[in-house]
Amino acid sequence: MARHTSDGGRRGIATWVIVTAVAVLVIAGGTVAYLVIVNGSDNKANAACTGQIVLPITTSVGSTPAIRSAAEGFVATAPSARSTCVTTEVTEMQGGQAEQALATGWQAGPGPAPSVWVPTSEADLSALETTDSAMTAGRDPDPMASSPVVLAMRAQDTLALSTLSWTSLPAAAGPAGTTLPAGGDQVIIALPGPVANRATSYALQSIVGGGAVAVDPAAVAAASAELDGLAKAAPAVQPATTSDALTQLAGGQGGFTAVPVVESELIAFLAANPDADLTAVHPSGPTVGDELYGVPLTAQWITPTLREASAAFLAYLRSPAGQQFLVDGGLRVTGSTGTASITSPSDAHDVANQVQELPDGGPAVATALAQAIGAGPAG
């Protein structure tokens, strides 16, 4: 029983019962106070917003994973525009298709018409600006991040390589027994169709290029002999996609020793396939790759609230928190090295490999490259 007889013959309540009751009251009071504070905060946040709006963002292949993560981080900050709470919706669309949809008032675009466009090629931006320069007026002329094309190779196949440049690859991919000009073994490159696989297009443009100006169809025609040599040295049956080529290379299949791949996508492939013994080789010389542009659009469907929400999202992308999402996506961000607030994941790109960037020539060049290597216009 909880009661006992005291020294004076009086019966009292046991001490432990009193202590327990007090503890229960304290905990209950604390819980009530917490709920009041939390509910009060939620009510204040909700009271600050007079409505809800979804910020539509259209991305190109290559920018989607990082931008989607950054958009989630942005929403977690409880953003608002003109007293309206903002959420986001990210839709991926190939850059050339998005450009055409925007140029025609988004009559055939998937998902809602975007307020922010994140293409990965300046060629797509230029094509839109040729049609409607006002739609991208005020955008940052410089990309917010980039990711160059590299060659994925098995570690055992890179041991004999001393130096490798993009312009030396046609000679390196010659008949069996051919050696690199600086010494080394034959490099056989997988060539998935360059129209459907931008990494193939980037690598071939880097081979054709050599300067700071984007490759054009005329330059492709002038390099037809070198490109034809690359195609003849490659296996007759090519993988359909870059991902298929990487899988075959990791398994020692396919009959090739190198796969062109965008650096950020190789990072993602290795993260998903930790047993794949592949490494990135960075040939020297001007190199084509993804270039991410954050573009606030001006169009009839964009309201003042969407315009303000777009500006807030792009400002977030330029902040250390936003840039961290880009770096975590394997992208090269200006200021990501030597900035204390931004860290690179252990499997990110080797920042010691500085890249001389070469702009992408766009869809017309990819089509010309496909014809030069016999892949056909459809890639």
Residues 162 and 104 in one domain: no
Residue 6 lies in a domain: no
Separation of alpha carbons 180 and 177, rounded Å: 10
Q: What confidence score (pLDDT) does residue 372 get?
A: 95
Separation of alpha carbons 352 and 299, rounded Å: 42
Task: Give the tokens for residue 104.
Answer: 């025609």
Residue 25 lies in a domain: no
- Give the domain range for residue 165: 146-290+353-372
Q: How many CA atoms within 13 Å lie on the side-chain side of 201?
A: 28
Residue 36 lies in a domain: no
Max Cα–Cα distance, the chain, nearest Å: 113
Residues 225 and 202 in one domain: yes
Q: What confidence score (pLDDT) does residue 352 get?
A: 55
Residues 137 and 201 in one domain: no
Residues 196 and 299 in one domain: no
Task: Report how many domains make up the chain.
Answer: 2
**DSSP code string of 276-328:** --EEEE--BS-B-EEEE--EE---TT--HHHHHHHHHHHHHHHSHHHHHHHHH
CATH code of the domain containing 98: 3.40.190.10
Closest CA to 361 of 192, 215, 172: 215
Q: What confidence score (pLDDT) does residue 34 get?
A: 34
Q: How many CA atoms within 13 Å lie on the side-chain side of 328?
A: 16
The kind and range of the H/E element at 290 are: strand 289-292
pLDDT tens, the chain, 379 aa long = 443 433 444 344 454 444 344 344 444 444 333 333 334 434 444 557 999 999 999 999 999 999 999 999 999 999 999 999 999 999 999 999 999 999 999 987 778 999 999 999 999 999 999 999 999 998 999 999 999 999 999 988 886 666 789 988 888 775 544 444 444 467 899 999 999 999 999 999 999 987 778 999 999 999 999 999 999 988 889 999 999 999 999 999 989 999 999 999 999 999 999 999 999 999 999 999 999 999 999 999 999 999 999 999 999 999 999 999 999 999 999 754 433 344 444 444 555 567 889 999 999 999 999 999 987 543 3
Residue 24 lies in a domain: no
Closest CA to 208 of 224, 188, 190: 224
